[in-house]
Amino acid sequence: MTARSRADLATASRIVVKVGSSSISGEASWRIPVLVEALAAAHARGAEVVLVSSGAIATGIPFLQLDARPTDLATQQAAAAVGQTMLVYRYQESLRPFEIVAGQVLLTTGDLENPTSRSNARRAMERLMGLRVLPIVNENDTVATQEIRFGDNDRLGALVAQLIQADALILLSDIESLYTKPPTDPGAEPIDVIAADADLSGLEFGATVVNSVGTGGAATKVSAARLAAASGIGVLVTSADLVDKALAGAEIGTWFEPAV
């Protein structure tokens, strides 16, 4: 049943959680076991959990002995190819104590737009969840040039939530909630709830935040959250450090009410 409020996350049957590169790559890789522990707790109560995880390129950079994120497409693709295997390995090692098996699913937005590919993806993910495997979804960076150049996986998280008809989507960020202005600006206030039909034209969401390992920002999360909410999926945007509280239904972050 669709999560109508944050509290419903504690009992939701099917949840998609999206985490970005900056939260789990490089010096932040310590957060993977913390994230996994929270996902495992939801899994243990019987929930079907899907993780949409960025981080392939960022994880691959040190293995290619690069000093920074590459700017040319071919090297980005090479870093993604190397990093994706290590990223899933790190997740699987963290899942091992909980006796949970991870399943890698690489998609492009094109896969979800093509009816045949979309049907195949849905069937595979339904079977993985039925087998109590935790699907780990990422953009197929070796071929998805648009994602590498312009976006993050927030939109992919929303599309996956739609694909599997999730009860809720949790978009993990670097900050606890969205703000009426960039949080560093004077007068910026945290946003508690955004109604499905809310007019957001008066709010100032940063168009893009780019750091050394990932791309994305408040604007991409708002766009993805509204996409999912319009499909009747409740969405929570909050900090990656609060994922355990988010899955427990705590009153944190910014909640996007699902359309009826």
Q: Is 181 annotated as a binding residue?
A: no
**Across the chain, where does the E strand assignment appear?**
14-19, 48-53, 102-107, 134-139, 168-173, 193-194, 209-210, 215-216, 234-239, 254-256
Amino acid at 6: R
49: its two tokens: 């959990």
Tell whether residue 174 is among the known ligand binding residues. Answer: yes
Q: Closest Cα to residue 104, out of 131, 123, 119, 124?
A: 124
What amino acid occupies position 223?
Answer: S
d(CA 167, CA 215) in angstroms, rounded, equals 27
* 18 labelled ligand-binding: yes
Distance between CA atoms of residues 65 and 91, nearest Å: 22
**Does 153 belong to an annotated binding site?**
yes
Tell me whether residue 141 is annotated as binding: yes
DSSP string, 3-68: --SGGGGGT-SEEEEEE-HHHHSGGGTTHHHHHHHHHHHHHHTT-EEEEEE--HHHHHTGGGT-SS
Pairing of strands 134-139, 48-53: parallel
Q: Given the structure tokens 């899907």, which residue do they identify?
A: 50
Q: Which residues are annotated as a binding site for substrate?
A: 54, 141, 153
| Residues that constitute the known binding site | 18, 54, 141, 153, 173-174
Q: Which residues are annotated as a binding site for ATP?
A: 18, 173-174
